[in-house]
A and B are shown apart, each in its own frame.
Chain A
Amino acid sequence: MASSENLLTIRNLHTGFRIKDTYYNAVDDVSINLNKNEILAIVGESGCGKSTLATSILGLHVANNTKVTGEILYKDLNLAGLPEDKFNSIRGNDIGMIFQDPLSALNPLMRIGEQISESLVYHTKFTKEQRVERVLELLNQVGIPNPERVANQFPHQLSGGMRQRVIIAIAIACKPAIIVADEPTTALDVTIQAQILDLLKELQAETKSGIILITHDLGVVAEVADRVAVMYAGQIIEEAPVEELFNNPKHPYTRSLLNSIPQMNSENEKLQVIKGLVPSLKNLPRQGCRFSSRIPWIAADAHEENPVLHEVAPGHLVRCTCWKHFDFEGAEGGQLR
């Protein structure tokens, strides 16, 4: 799939946190590309390493207890472990960011207009008038009615949805090539979520940027993503174009997740349950398939010893070979407690 233009190439990324004297990798050998003009979703349950991946790309880790190794190639730079002073010109300029909680991401004492204009001061040579004009243009672009008034307001005077629109305006202020959005709609009501997702999608189409959208919600993925990577225990376990992932999921974990969603027409059925728990960082099995303890119905010797990603269709990668050997629709898959 060399067709599309590559924006960001992540290769063998490891991000470890120090607990006592040992580093434990929360992101453990992740390789993935982000293309121009696409929304790449990273999905998984809490603790699987999604946010750690995001903060690694953005260089937001505390250096003295975090170790980032591998490659995050952007233009001719390797962002993995890039010193902070170099990151400053990239963050907010080449790479925009949107986080879950719009209130804590805004300065409560600063007017909305000033907050948006801040990154313009830093990254552009705009005059004051140009900045004011750009701020109003941005507020308009993210669907805020009455931009002049809102520019003069403070964050607490806006609703959660409006605040998230402001965050998006800040993220796109310098027309970044890449936007990293970590759970951008998780704190919002569904109607607002739908509006924000529509907005992100429209902005992405307009600017042809690449968006990395991190979420735990498969519904959100299905609504906006072009490509999806599913993470489990620090690794990508399946990657595919969005329709392929939902119509033809292969990895047992992906399939279990899809089966455990209460669907709009599943009222009288049992939801599928995945046995066991997501392991904590210190207890991650680093040998063998990390998911094996949660699918006990397969004989141990049927598993690939240390599963690697296999390409099963163009662009569809699965970290498991054994899925061929069992019928997931059968009794075992449906009844696990």
Chain B
Amino acid sequence: MSFMQIKDLCVHYPIRGGFFNRVVDHVYAVDGVNMEFEKGKTYGLVGESGSGKSTTGKAIIGLEKITSGSIIYEGENVTNQRRERTSAYNRDIQMIFQDSHSSMNPRKRIKDIIAEPIRNFLKLSDQEENRRINELLAIVGMPEDAKYKYPHEFSGGQKQRIGIARAVACNPKMIIADEPVSALDLSVQAQVLNFMKDIQQEYGLSYLFISHDLGVVKHMCDHISIMYKGRFVETGRREDVYKNPQHIYTQRLLSAIPNIEPSTRIARKAERQGVEAIYQTEQHKYYDENGKVYALKQLSSTHSVAMSTQDKGGN
């Protein structure tokens, strides 16, 4: 059973212009997104730049105002709840960012950075707080003396770990991770990904994992949604999406991922060109006359795709 449901989420930004600075149009950053989250699972959100991934994440956690739709957490409507210090929702859902550097106050010590959510949500004595910080540093594999240092004294991978320590400080149920490894080198990325999987197993965490890297998403996620212009074009279990992609946009994305097997180059280029040709000629199957993505249609209990109701790919 899912502990949280996102229903028909929309975030529209007004575009102002003209003489009276009136609203002349809207950016439909998120435009009708539905999701459900179960305990201990990882949900991937993929799509090209500007497709609305970060806005979705920020809207869920309350950093972006929701235009319409609702968020139900453990049966309770928590839509547009400000980031209040006291609510269980705000304690249980945490976020880590691509650039943890800019999300950390450079003048604060690591100890105070990690303690932020603890001070907001838990009433701990100084001694208990100190013990919890040591514990958290141990969880993310950092030495205890790190707590007296400042963010700039750490590498990108270490800062990302500190960001994770802060996010898990109050035993959250779910962490929204927006491109958590995109700024990291390969070897450091591997450390952070392994580590995210470890703590997930240990604490039964769920992740909403936002990324543009389909290799990383496949490695991490149980369930994947592909986003385009604020809407999902396809959503399903990892196997559904990678082994049986139905939407042309998904197929195009998958065929573009570089493969580390040089001998498959020519075959892959041919495949890419084949998909591209279909993409050019069969737009109407996948996008309506305004270029908008159709509503999702269920293909199986786990797999949905946004296609015109006239012709639908088999499954």
Let me know if A271 and B219 touch, CB within 8 A: yes
Collect the chain A residues with CB atoms within 8 Å of residue B215's CB: 219, 261-264
Let me know if A261 and B187 touch, CB within 8 A: no
Q: How far is the CB of B286 from the nearest CB of chain A, in Å?
A: 15
Let me know if B185 and A263 touch, CB within 8 A: no
Would you call A242 an interface residue if the criterion is a C-beta within 8 Å of the partner chain's C-beta atoms? yes
Let me know if B191 and A273 touch, CB within 8 A: yes
Distance, CA A246 to CA B260, complexed state (A): 7
Distance, CA A191 to CA B258, complexed state (A): 10
Closest B-chain residue to A191, C-beta based?
A: B256
Q: Mark B158-191, 1 if CB is under 8 A from A, else 0.
A: 0000000000000000000000000001111111
Please tell me which stretch of A103-111, A162-170, A174-182, A252-260 contacts chain B, meaning at least 4 of its Cβ atoms lie within 8 angstroms of it.
A252-260
Let me know if A219 and B258 touch, CB within 8 A: yes
Would you call B103 an interface residue if the criterion is a C-beta within 8 Å of the partner chain's C-beta atoms? no
How many A residues touch the partner, as a band?
35 or more
Let me know if A262 and B216 touch, CB within 8 A: yes
Q: Mark B207-220, 1 if CB is under 8 A from A, else 0.
A: 00000101110111
Would you call A198 an interface residue if the criterion is a C-beta within 8 Å of the partner chain's C-beta atoms? yes
Count the B residues whose beta carbon is within 8 Å of the partner chain — how many? 39
Q: Mark A167-208, 1 if CB is under 8 A from B, else 0.
A: 000000000000000000000011101100110000000000
Would you call A305 an interface residue if the criterion is a C-beta within 8 Å of the partner chain's C-beta atoms? no
Given A190-B256, A191-B252, A246-B261, answer yes or no on A45-B187 (Cβ-Cβ < 8 Å).
yes
Collect the chain A residues with CB atoms within 8 Å of residue B272's CB: 194, 198
Distance, CA A137 to CA B194, complexed state (A): 49
Indicate which residue in A197, A220, A262 contacts B193 across the interface (CB closer than 8 Å). Answer: A262
The A235-278 residues at the B interface (CB cut-off 8 A) are 242-243, 246, 256-258, 260-264, 266-267, 270-274, 277-278
Let me know if B186 and A223 touch, CB within 8 A: no
Would you call A222 an interface residue if the criterion is a C-beta within 8 Å of the partner chain's C-beta atoms? yes
Let me know if B219 and A277 touch, CB within 8 A: no
Q: How far is the CB of B257 from the nearest CB of chain A, in Å?
A: 6
Collect the chain B residues with CB atoms within 8 Å of residue A191's CB: 48, 252-253, 256
Q: Mark B194-224, 1 if CB is under 8 A from A, else 0.
A: 1001000000000000001011101110000
Let me know if A243 and B258 touch, CB within 8 A: no
Would you call B18 an interface residue if the criterion is a C-beta within 8 Å of the partner chain's C-beta atoms? no
Would you call B49 an interface residue if the criterion is a C-beta within 8 Å of the partner chain's C-beta atoms? yes
Would you call A140 an interface residue if the criterion is a C-beta within 8 Å of the partner chain's C-beta atoms? no
Let me know if A337 and B191 touch, CB within 8 A: yes
Would you call B119 an interface residue if the criterion is a C-beta within 8 Å of the partner chain's C-beta atoms? no
The B219-261 residues at the A interface (CB cut-off 8 A) are 219-220, 238, 242, 252-253, 255-261
Let me know if B260 and A189 touch, CB within 8 A: no
Let me know if A264 and B262 touch, CB within 8 A: no
Instruction: Please list the 8 inter-chain residue pairs (A to B) with the smallest Cβ-Cβ separation, ordered nearest first.
Output: A219-B258, A262-B219, A271-B190, A260-B190, A194-B256, A274-B187, A45-B185, A189-B48
Binding site for A on B (CB under 8 A): 48-49, 141, 155, 157, 185-191, 193-194, 197, 212, 214-216, 218-220, 238, 242, 252-253, 255-263, 265, 268-269, 272
Binding site for B on A (CB under 8 A): 45-46, 160, 189-191, 193-194, 197-198, 216-220, 222-223, 225, 242-243, 246, 256-258, 260-264, 266-267, 270-274, 277-278, 337
CB<8 Å pairs between A and B, sample of 30? A45-B187, A190-B257, A191-B48, A194-B258, A198-B272, A216-B186, A217-B258, A218-B186, A219-B257, A219-B259, A223-B262, A223-B265, A223-B268, A225-B262, A243-B262, A258-B260, A260-B187, A260-B189, A262-B193, A262-B215, A262-B220, A263-B219, A264-B257, A264-B259, A267-B238, A270-B197, A271-B219, A273-B194, A274-B190, A277-B155
